[in-house]
């Protein structure tokens, strides 16, 4: 926007105040020289040094003597004296004026009132310093006036209670942060208010908005703003016949653009991304036009709740959990030419489901045919396995009997072996007895021989 904030007079110009002849009071702007000293002019009056030794306030430059002036003072100074002025013969009345350096005045070419971070002013006026300069400018404005706000950072909550235009230098350079997080950044309570070119943030308490239009605010225009980092970005409450266009309402706690019981509004060319709800129409928000907006990356892109006869067209609602949603008797709405990639993807899935199930059917049929084809081998293997199992079962079942029989057979064999060796055993026993007896007889013979020899 380029606000002009240059002084139109310098700090060496002078202001005449307190003169009894009120027409002589005012700002005297430097206007060349007279007798090698600067002269100053204010309307038909001159402030100049005559003959180099006294200063005059008069409506003519060529005078004959000091008394033929409105006011004069004897002084050899190169600048007008501040005091000592006396009335002349040509209309000057007491009291005499005070002359002082004039405060620089400012230009305001973009509107009726200009604002910067230090204060506000009108064209050709002086700066009115304020800690909340936007609010101070609104308070000073008349209905229908335009307030231009220069680039900078402002911390305030602004109540706009009269039909004015607030024009920021641009949403990328004019930042307005809520002084109180529990209040709206801009609260509009009058009709025909226009707000554009601001970045508004910081209204984070429940139900607070970056820009809020109350039930007293109709026929407003909210455009080219960035309303992010609030609970609501832009909130219309029982507010109708407004135009909300070319705004960005991203990354708010709950809602990007929210209409409650608000009808006949035009919501166009806005971006409402990365909120809980992108654009939300609630409770009898009817006959609104929602067009050419982008509501993506939200939980709900565009949601209508108990709202009817709205036109939803040419919007983009991608990457939401739900792109466009209607609930609670939202009837007779026109919804055309919107882009919802996620919904499109789901419809595509549904469209391909018959083919999918047909393919699944074909696959199942193929699987069954394959099973049938392998059934002879399967049953052959199954029969073989069954036979193997039967044999194992039989073996396992008869093993105890088998081992018992085996043990019995072993015992029988052992006994048979014993019987087989009995003849030899007995023969050995008999031979041993015979031998023992022979040994006894042999020893008896020796014994008797010995007895006989002793006799």
Q: pLDDT of 287-311, one tens digit each?
A: 999 999 999 999 999 999 999 999 9
Distance CA 9, CA 29 (A): 7
Distance CA 252, CA 233 (A): 6
- Model confidence at 397: pLDDT above 70: no
Instruction: Give the lowest-confidence range in 15-29, 140-154, 350-364.
Output: 350-364
Q: Is 105 helix (H, G, I), strand (E, B) or coil?
A: coil
Q: pLDDT of 137-170, one tens digit each?
A: 999 999 999 999 999 999 999 999 999 999 999 9
Whole-structure pTM value = 0.66
Distance CA 443, CA 20 (A): 190
Q: pLDDT of 184-221, one tens digit each?
A: 999 999 999 999 999 999 999 999 999 999 999 999 99
As a whole-number percent, the residues of the chain with pLDDT over 70 amount to: 80
What integer pLDDT is reported at residue 417 of this predicted model? 74
CA dihedral sign of residues 342, 348, 350, 353: negative
**Predicted confidence band of residue 365 (pLDDT cuts 50, 70, 90):** low
What integer pLDDT is reported at residue 390 of this predicted model? 73
- Model confidence at 224: pLDDT above 80: yes
Beta strand spans in 307-358 (E): 311-313, 322-327, 334-336
**Predicted confidence band of residue 6 (pLDDT cuts 50, 70, 90):** very low
Distance CA 296, CA 123 (A): 44
């Amino acid at each position: 926007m380029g606000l002009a904030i240059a002084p139109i007079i310098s700090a060496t110009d002078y202001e005449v105040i307190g003169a009894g002849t009120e027409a002589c009071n005012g700002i005297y702007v430097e206007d060349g020289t007279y007798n090698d000293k600067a002269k100053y002019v204010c309307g038909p009056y001159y402030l100049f040094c005559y003959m180099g030794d006294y200063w005059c306030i008069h409506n003519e430059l060529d005078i004959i003597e000091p008394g033929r002036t409105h006011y004069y003072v004897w002084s050899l100074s190169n600048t007008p004296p501040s005091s000592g002025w006396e009335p002349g013969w040509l209309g000057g009345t007491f009291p005499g004026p005070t002359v002082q350096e004039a405060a620089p005045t400012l230009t305001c070419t973009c509107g009726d009132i200009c604002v910067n971070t230090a204060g506000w002013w009108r064209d050709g006026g002086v700066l009115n310093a304020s800690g909340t300069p936007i609010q101070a400018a609104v308070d000073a404005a008349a209905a229908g006036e335009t307030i231009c706000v220069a680039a900078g950072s402002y911390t305030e909550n602004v109540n706009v209670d009269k039909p004015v235009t607030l024009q920021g230098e641009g949403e990328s350079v004019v930042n307005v942060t809520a002084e109180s997080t529990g209040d709206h950044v801009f609260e509009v309570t009058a009709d025909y208010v226009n707000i554009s070119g601001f970045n508004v943030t910081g209204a984070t308490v429940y139900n607070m908005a970056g820009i809020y239009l109350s039930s007293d605010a109709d026929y407003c225009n909210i455009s080219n703003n960035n309303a992010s980092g609030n609970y609501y970005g832009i909130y219309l409450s029982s507010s109708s016949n407004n135009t909300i266009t070319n705004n960005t309402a991203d990354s708010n706690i709950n809602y990007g653009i929210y209409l409650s019981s608000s009808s006949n509004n035009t919501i166009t060319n806005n971006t409402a991304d990365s909120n809980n709800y992108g654009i939300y129409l609630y409770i009898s928000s009817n006959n609104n036009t929602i067009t050419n907006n982008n509501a993506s990356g939200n939980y709900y892109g565009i949601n209508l709740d108990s709202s009817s006869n709205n036109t939803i067209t040419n919007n983009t609602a991608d990457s939401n959990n739900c792109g466009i949603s209607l609930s609670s008797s939202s009837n007779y709405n026109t919804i055309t030419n919107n882009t919802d990639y996620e919904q499109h993807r789901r419809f595509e899935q549904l469209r391909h489901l018959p083919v999918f199930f047909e393919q699944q059917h074909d696959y199942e049929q193929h699987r069954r045919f394959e099973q049938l084809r392998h059934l002879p081998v399967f049953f052959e293997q199954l029969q073989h396995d069954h036979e193997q199992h039967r044999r194992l079962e039989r073996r396992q079942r008869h093993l105890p009997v088998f081992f018992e029989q085996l043990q019995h057979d072993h015992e029988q064999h052992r006994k048979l072996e014993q019987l087989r060796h009995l003849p030899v055993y007995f023969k050995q026993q008999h031979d041993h007895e015979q031998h023992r007896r022979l040994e006894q007889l042999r020893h008896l013979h020796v014994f008797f021989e010995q007895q006989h020899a002793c006799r």
